[in-house]
A and B are shown apart, each in its own frame.
Chain A
Amino acid sequence: MTTTLPTPGHYDVLNAVVLKQMAVGAAVSEATGVGLDDVDAILAELAGAGLVFMAGDSALPTDGSAPALAEVAALRYAALRSDPAVLAEVDRFEDTNTQMLATMTRWQTVEVGGRQVPNDHTDPAYDEKVVARIDRLVQRLGPLLDALAAHDPRFALYRQRFDAALDAVDSGRREFVSSPTHDSVHTVWFEFHEDLLRALGRARTE
């Protein structure tokens, strides 16, 4: 660990701030599993080091945040990056990710006479098929989350967030499929994807 991010908690908190861009302590605590008091203390230290900027109760990343995370990730996840169990699952993830995004698209648009039009959600049977597929694709993430959690237990938290989003969908809250203003399946997936790329030291391609 470098001096700027002395503990795993510092990495986790900063990582959450960078993923969310603007986050209050409670949201960071929920996403990281770090206790609220510790989150507040860590945010204060990070602010002192110029790695986050506090606007009222919200923490925002600075230009230094992402480089600091990248530097620490290289050390912290060195073993993860060369673990064949992780890498095999990562290869599978590429395919799962493609399918998930295609399935999200089917949730949002339907083809009508050769044109894509917004899904007006008046066909529950269609919607149910799509959600069932989203559910299965989330389940397929299981082995990857297990492999990652063997190096850093924090990754297991994604499962709870996915389950919470899927429960909300099943209780009729459709916005928990893909709305970016909710902790929807796609929001969690998008954050996980970014988090994974950072852990692996890979760049996003789209």
Chain B
Amino acid sequence: MAKTKKEASMKRNRIIDTIWSNGLLIILALVWIIPIVWVILASFSTQTEFMTDSVFPKEYTIDNYVRLFTETDYPIWIGNTALIAVTNTVLTTLFTVLTAYALSRFRFKMRKLFMNITLILGMFPGFMSMVAVYFIFNMMGLIDSIWGLLVYYVAGAGLGFFVCKGYFDTIPKDIDEAIHMDGAPHIVAFIRVYLPLIMPIIIYTALLAFMAPWADYILAGILLSDTNRTVAVGLYEWMDEYHINSYFTLFAAGSTLVAIPITALYISLQRFFVEGISAGAVKG
């Protein structure tokens, strides 16, 4: 009798647990999903004002998307950003991995110095030097050119090697010796042996390099002119107090279009991303 009572109470506890856990998770999921659903639906709204009398639009149209490509500079922005992002992915990943490889696998005189300087540079607020960067780009004639922006991103590639180097460090040293026995030069070892081994971190680095131009507001805002923008700068302006009321649905459409491919990319590469952030977090 006592036993069944205890079982019953355990079962009841279990049911309560199931209900509140699932309930809480569903509420949380709603908190995360509603804003996203809202902006996607708003991008199909017939009402072009930000101020509406209902949360979700009542009638739907694809007009906003048509306007986005016919009446605004959005195609230029997205073309610019995509071009920078793809090129940046290739070059930044290459240089980051090369730097990490050199610092992890070679022992040379200036190595510690180089790493310490990098560390100190990372502690300065990033755009403290923007005025000077602007001036140097002006000197080089790279103002208002997306190539200038790209040069700046790629130039910083060598400074972001820490996570990648940490990953290299975990690869046993025996591999080096085995390669040397074969008499293969280091570059061959790098390409044939190391690159496949560090594939997860390469994908992680590439993903971050691809994302950076989409999120960069500061430098893109300073270097590019009004007609030759990137997505982040352009969409930001549509959301300021002067533009928001007439541009909001366009903003919603533009954001949705940008977000879909990037989100898909993220979700498909989620595994590598987790591996990368875990490696970075645990190794400090």
A and B bind: no
